[in-house]
Chain A
Amino acid sequence: MINPFRPLIAGINMFVESLRMAIANITANKLRSFLTILGIMIGVTAVIALITTISGVSSSISDSFTSMGAGSITVSTPGSDLKSGLSSEDLDDIAALENVQGVTPSVSLSVKAARNGVSETGITVSGVNEYYFINKPDALESGRSINPIDIADMSRVCMIGSDVMESFFYGVNPIGQTIYLAGVQFTVVGILAEDTDTSIASIMSGTPDILMPYTTAMKMNSQNLVTGITVYMNNPDDTEDVKTLLEEHLDALFSFEDDTYTITTMESIESTMDTMLSMMSALLAGIASIALIVGGIGIMNMMLTSVTERTVEIGLKKAIGAEPGQIQIQFLIESFLLSMIGGVTGVVLGLVVSAAMCSVMGTNFTINYGAIALGVGFSAAVGIIFGWSPARKASKLSPIDALRRM
């Protein structure tokens, strides 16, 4: 009786034998095989390490963005010639928009501070209101924070950071003490917590040395209009809705003139960063994949040498009945296997390298399965593409020419 699966089983047997022969050939000359796969190994290592490290960096950036900025919108309002900023009433109107929790104006200045004969220039001061503290509950170390009464009264009170405390209040409790800022006497009411958040986002935004009521800061700055605000929302999911409302409101406020304001959401910054990072990782992976092509050429070179060396063996196999296709498959399996050994080793090495880099940079290490698939897939493709021509050459060898060499 004829078994209908016979051709299939024969095919599998043939494949298993080809695999065995390929392994025997690869292990027969370990140094040469190792040197051959080195190119692929380095290429895959580089691709995996770069992609994994960059995706680690990118995920920690977006984590810190979320921690500091989700739920808020930054608006800069240089305004028009007629109206060059926002008034207190405008701020109240914006705070009254749907889903808006509150608005903090940001008024920044740089002043000279002095106390008891010690003076220092370039002290950064931010004018804020109570919403700043509602949205940054950890900001207060001791004392009290700036309250609505301070703002209404344009009180000369301030909160100081650790740098100012060391410079001017060494060994003294600063609460209740006075300090001159730009020649005006201020009472210290609170101490700001040292910013322990060393995330990239925090470094980018910077922490001011001193906080004071924004009304006081505007007065010191001889301004009566605000050119920058942060809008806080009740729920971060409302960002798009609030953004649309803000646009409508500001358009009306500035008489629909162009370039009177810009709205920046943390989501938009984050997505810009993401785009940049993924472009960068694609570029780097592209450069690294040149190593893969060079590795492929290495494999092709070794396979061509191997075909020449094994001419007699090929002739003998043909004489005992091997079909050209069977010879070709055997060589293809060998180059595929070589390339895959390089690829898999490269994946492991790449993960080790990127885990090390992530731990050095303090970012999260997450295994990027896409990168692994890319590395393995690419090396499989390299093995087949660059193995094809040597395998074809082997299969086309005339058995007589091959045997004449004996």
Chain B
Amino acid sequence: MNDIFFQMRKIVKQYPLGDEVSTVLRDVDLDVQEGEYLSVLGPSGSGKSTLMNIIGCLDLPTSGEYILRGQSVEELDEMELAHIRRREIGFIFQNSQMLKRMDALKNVELPLIYAGVSPRERARRAEEMLVKVGLQDRLHHFPNQLSGGQQQRVAIARALVTRPSLLLADEPTGALDQSTGKQIMALFSELNADGHTIIMITHDINIAKHAKRVVNIIDGVLSEPKGEVTFA
């Protein structure tokens, strides 16, 4: 369980902002082991979403080294990045972002469609995942027939269906009420116990506490608090 999942060394991300350059991430070092459950805690504008994009291979750092499962990510083109996302990473967003015109099962199948899995295999795996997140009786419901919590479960099933090595969640409970949020957090703990590596980005310290390890990010600087987790 102690294999290195990824390593980040001196990651810098800058965006042009008019004539100036805005630095969003400053020399971020972060190591994550296989099977970890990590929270990245920070207020809005702290650079946590940018960090998530880089971890999720949606974006490339301006400088620094990012090695994901032994592979250096910097020099990959869009196509190879798409393949890494497809193979290694399951995304869960704040709003579940189900596609409106598809039922739950089809939404979960979507990543498998792009991965070229056969229709029968797709349906089988998607159903298996929906059962796992407790939606066995909602397979053919459309997004407008599902509650927010149920939609988020569909999103989790969709993230899991490709059997990714990492679940990457951005404010997964942001749009949910407290009790539904707790159910989702319980599901995350379960998934982590099953061996899934989870990274959760949040601004909510109570949510962050569910993770086994918490890092803070403020103004693009990452720090690992010793002892009690608080906002600096």
* Interface bits B77-90 vs A (CB < 8 Å: 1, else 0): 01100110111001
Contact at B56–A324, with CB atoms within 8 Å? no
Contact at A312–B101, with CB atoms within 8 Å? no
Contact at A324–B79, with CB atoms within 8 Å? yes
CA distance A13 to B122 in the complex (A): 11
Q: Answer yes or no: B76 CB below 8 A from chain A CBs.
A: no
CA distance A319 to B158 in the complex (A): 12
Selected from B58, B79, B115, the residue in CB contact (under 8 A) with A319 is B58
**Interface-centre pick from A320, A322, A400 (highest chain B CB count, 10 A):** A320
Contact at A312–B97, with CB atoms within 8 Å? yes
Q: How many residues of A contact B (CB 8 A)?
A: 30
Q: Answer yes or no: B204 CB below 8 A from chain A CBs.
A: no
Q: Answer yes or no: B131 CB below 8 A from chain A CBs.
A: no
A158 to chain B, nearest CB (A): 84
Selected from A312, A323, A406, the residue in CB contact (under 8 A) with B79 is A323
Knowing A403-B93, A406-B94, say if A326 contacts B114 (CB, 8 Å): yes
Q: How many residues of B contact A (CB 8 A)?
A: 32
Contact at A9–B101, with CB atoms within 8 Å? no
CA distance A324 to B87 in the complex (A): 16
B146: which A residues are within 8 A, CB to CB?
Answer: none
A326 to chain B, nearest CB (A): 6
**Interface-centre pick from A316, A321, A326 (highest chain B CB count, 10 A):** A321
B79 to chain A, nearest CB (A): 5
Q: Answer yes or no: B16 CB below 8 A from chain A CBs.
A: no
Contact at B113–A17, with CB atoms within 8 Å? yes
CA distance A398 to B78 in the complex (A): 10
Selected from A14, A313, A406, the residue in CB contact (under 8 A) with B93 is A406
Contact at A400–B93, with CB atoms within 8 Å? no
* Interface bits B137-171 vs A (CB < 8 Å: 1, else 0): 00000000000000000000011001000000000
From 375 to 406 in chain A, residues with beta carbon under 8 angstroms from any chain B beta carbon are 398-400, 403, 406
B99: which A residues are within 8 A, CB to CB?
Answer: 313, 316
CA distance A6 to B116 in the complex (A): 9
A218 to chain B, nearest CB (A): 87
Contact at B91–A319, with CB atoms within 8 Å? yes
From 298 to 315 in chain A, residues with beta carbon under 8 angstroms from any chain B beta carbon are 312-313
From 176 to 211 in chain B, residues with beta carbon under 8 angstroms from any chain A beta carbon are none
Q: Answer yes or no: A25 CB below 8 A from chain B CBs.
A: yes
B57 to chain A, nearest CB (A): 9
Residue of A nearest to B119 (CB): A13
Contact at B118–A320, with CB atoms within 8 Å? no
B113: which A residues are within 8 A, CB to CB?
Answer: 13-14, 17
Q: Answer yes or no: B7 CB below 8 A from chain A CBs.
A: no
CA distance A406 to B115 in the complex (A): 24
B160 to chain A, nearest CB (A): 11
Residue of A nearest to B59 (CB): A400
B29 to chain A, nearest CB (A): 22
Q: Answer yes or no: A282 CB below 8 A from chain B CBs.
A: no
A9: which B residues are within 8 A, CB to CB?
Answer: 116, 118
Knowing A13-B119, A28-B101, say if A321 contacts B111 (CB, 8 Å): yes
Contact at B85–A321, with CB atoms within 8 Å? yes
Selected from B78, B91, B117, the residue in CB contact (under 8 A) with A324 is B78
B229: which A residues are within 8 A, CB to CB?
Answer: none
Q: Answer yes or no: B28 CB below 8 A from chain A CBs.
A: no
Q: Answer yes or no: B32 CB below 8 A from chain A CBs.
A: no
Residue of A nearest to B102 (CB): A24
CA distance A321 to B97 in the complex (A): 15
A318: which B residues are within 8 A, CB to CB?
Answer: 58, 82, 85
B27 to chain A, nearest CB (A): 21
Knowing A316-B97, A317-B114, A406-B97, say if A322 contacts B82 (CB, 8 Å): yes
Q: Answer yes or no: A172 CB below 8 A from chain B CBs.
A: no
Knowing A10-B116, A400-B53, A406-B95, say if A324 contacts B82 (CB, 8 Å): yes
A249 to chain B, nearest CB (A): 80
A13: which B residues are within 8 A, CB to CB?
Answer: 113, 116-119
* Interface bits A54-98 vs B (CB < 8 Å: 1, else 0): 000000000000000000000000000000000000000000000
From 31 to 60 in chain B, residues with beta carbon under 8 angstroms from any chain A beta carbon are 53, 56, 58-59
Q: Answer yes or no: B218 CB below 8 A from chain A CBs.
A: no
A306 to chain B, nearest CB (A): 13
Selected from A14, A21, A321, the residue in CB contact (under 8 A) with B86 is A321
B8: which A residues are within 8 A, CB to CB?
Answer: none
Between A and B, 14 residue pairs with Cβ closer than 8 Å are A10-B117, A13-B116, A13-B119, A319-B56, A321-B82, A321-B85, A321-B86, A321-B87, A324-B78, A324-B79, A324-B82, A325-B79, A403-B93, A406-B94
Other than the given A13-B117, A313-B99, A323-B78, 16 more pairs (CB < 8 A) read: A9-B116, A11-B116, A13-B116, A17-B113, A21-B101, A24-B102, A28-B101, A316-B93, A318-B58, A319-B58, A320-B162, A321-B82, A321-B87, A321-B115, A324-B82, A403-B93
The 9 nearest A-B residue pairs measured at CB: A321-B86, A10-B116, A320-B111, A323-B82, A322-B114, A24-B101, A399-B58, A319-B91, A17-B113
